[in-house]
Amino acid sequence: MRKVLLPLGLTTLSCNLAFAQPLELPTFTQTLPVNVSDNFPVESVDSISFLRALELASSASPELAAARRELAASRALISQAGARPNPILSASQDGIRGDAPETTLELSQEIELGGKRSARIEAAKRAMDVAAADLQDAQARLRGAVMGAYYDVLTAQERQDLAQAASKLAKQAVNVANRRVRAGMVSPVEETRARVAATGVQVELAQATAELEAARTRLAANWGNPQPHFERVKEPAEAVPPLPELAELYSRLNDSAQ
């Protein structure tokens, strides 16, 4: 490292010379924009789509918030890495016991050689790339968690729909069996069988309802809501990308083998 010294001047001062004011160097502060809300978001009370569920989970995720802060900080470091070293002002005093003390002010400026500045900038860019990759990884993991919970709700509500339809048919079967027994067309045993079957269907409906409630709670937990407000989820046609063609899958397989 080489230093270039730029003398400002030599001055003979009186004995009572004192530096009452310390050297004040400028400070630089930067505010990093982070869009994080202190309150957990609340979903609608009717139905919710996959994209809306993902939006709610993203806005409430502390992991995503930390990754965004890290990315913002790494971007700020790029501009700081490109800044040149500040000049240094120093003072010294000789001949304190004499009648004419001499004070020397010296201004030095560090000149970076060997590509140090460009190396700092490149390292800061690499750090930003890592932070961006970490953010994408966090987003992908959150999307996977929300998608899994979303499909659990979708499966549970379809099971409940089937159980409700079966319960309706079972009640109709009991009514038909009752009328046929009263008409003397069949034995009362047929009505008993119909009622037993209807009871089993009601048990299935209760289990499906409990499973749906648990699945809804797990989905809403992704955005910090312990009591889900939505009743149902919509068909996530936009959530699952279309499957690639078979030829494209073979091409990817060959590329990965190389």
Q: At 153, which CATH number? A: 1.20.1600.10
By DSSP bridging, strand 232-233 and strand 47-48 are: parallel
- Residue 3, classed as helix, strand or coil, is strand
Q: Which of 227, 225, 233, 238 is nearest to 59 (CA)?
A: 225
Token output for 106:
């010296």
- Does residue 148 belong to any structural domain of this protein? yes
User: Do the domain assignments include residue 242?
Assistant: no
The answer to whether position 255 is within a domain reads: no
Number of domains the chain contains: 1
- Residues in the chain, overall count: 258
- Please give the pLDDT value at position 165: 96
Task: Give me the pLDDT at residue 161, please.
Answer: 95
Dihedral of CA 157/161/162/168: which sign?
Answer: positive
Kindly state the tokens that stand for 56: 């709610």
Rounded Cα–Cα distance for residues 56 and 35 (Å): 13
Question: Which letter does DSSP use for residue 81 in this model?
Answer: H
Global model pTM greater than 0.85: no
- pLDDT below 50 — which residues of the chain? 1-38, 239
Instruction: Say if 253 falls within a structural domain.
Output: no
The pLDDT, as a whole number, for residue 172 is: 95
**Residue showing tokens 């499909």:** 151
| Tokens 């008409």 belong to residue | 183
| 103: in domain | yes
Predicted local confidence at residue 15, as pLDDT: 33
Measured CA to CA, the distance from residue 67 to residue 34 in angstroms comes to: 10
Domain containing 80: what range?
2-18+51-236
pLDDT at 148: 94
Residue pointed to by tokens 């279309």: 242
Does 250 reside within a domain? no
As beta bridge partners, residue 4 has 109
CB count, 10 Å around CB of 220? 24
Query: Is 127 among the domain residues?
Result: yes
